[in-house]
Structure 1
Amino acid sequence: MTRPRELCKSILVADDNDDIRDAIVEALESEGYTVASARDGKEALEILKRLPVPTLILLDLMMPVMSGWEFLDAQKADARFAAHQVVTISAVNPHQSVEDPTPLETAGSIQKPFSLGKLWEKVAEFCGPPPSGSTDLTA
């Protein structure tokens, strides 16, 4: 389901890898998205509690302190955040986890490593075209 661009107010990126997180944030911000970032699931939950809830959450699964799986459990347990769209970004298959064999109920997934084109494709699925109006996001 694609959401109209005006509804895509912000995106939360949660990834413990500084380089990956920073690259995703920089790419999204360069296209006009408002982006918040977190180093782990606990920090992502803290951001959800104090900032307007984002339209889309891009979530790594393998993180210290609180994993992506633990974040999803906490998110779904809190009615304020339960309905928000989460796309996993991980090198592990989200449906074949050793940590948690329960199938994930997420809006989608992006397998690492991934291209910017794949990121744009998935973001556009939930947010529509970028606020910048750019149409060439295939890099």
Structure 2
Amino acid sequence: MVAVSDRGPEGRSVLIVEDDFDVRDALSQLLEFEGYLVAGAANGQEAIDHLRSTPRPAAILLDLMMPVMDGFQFRSELMHDPTLASIPVIIISADASVAEKAARMGATAYLRKPIEVDALLHTLERFCLP
């Protein structure tokens, strides 16, 4: 199920695609506190469905290892959809070796878990309106 916060100005919207509820919830709370409009999806398929039925987010935070549709499949789907391909995708992963794969996938940025708050906020500021 996709949940959307009712707070946050336009242009500061973020879709968090993460199967771990606790991680997704913690990121959502942090970003909502910082003024972002946040939506969450537990896997790539939920995220695709959400993206095709709502306005585009300013950025996507994407975990790679998820059930149903993993982050690699999700990114491939995005790249084949002209209306979604240009959304900045920030890969989040505990696997340090993923940074190179993320670049090959066309990811905009890579953040290693556990995510440093300052690094996350600085990265999102590049893609979201103030």
Name the TM-score, length of structure 1 as normaliser: 0.79
Structure 2 residue ranges without an equivalent (≥5): 1-8
> Which protein has the larger Cα radius of gyration, Structure 1 or Structure 2?
1
Please, which of 65, 78, 99 is the counterpart of residue 81 of structure 2?
78
Tell me the amino acid that sits aligned with residue 98 of structure 2.
Answer: P
| Distance (whole Å) between structure 1 residues aligned to residue 103 and residue 13 of structure 2 | 29
TM-align CA RMSD: 2.0
State the 4+ residue runs in structure 1 displaced beyond 6 angstroms.
none
Question: Structure with the greater relative contact order (CA < 8 A, sep ≥ 6): 1 or 2?
Answer: 1
Paired-residue identity, % = 37
| Distance (whole Å) between structure 2 residues aligned to residue 102 and residue 54 of structure 1 | 21
| Distance (whole Å) between structure 1 residues aligned to residue 21 and residue 78 of structure 2 | 23
Structure 2 residue matching 1:13: 3-state secondary structure: strand
Q: Report if the CA contact (8 A) 2:63-2:71 is conserved.
A: yes
Number of equivalences: 121
Tell me the amino acid that sits aligned with residue 104 of structure 1.
Answer: M
Structure 2 residue matching 1:126: 3-state secondary structure: coil
Q: Is the counterpart of residue 29 in structure 1 residue 32 in structure 2? A: yes
| Distance (whole Å) between structure 2 residues aligned to residue 118 and residue 128 of structure 1 | 17
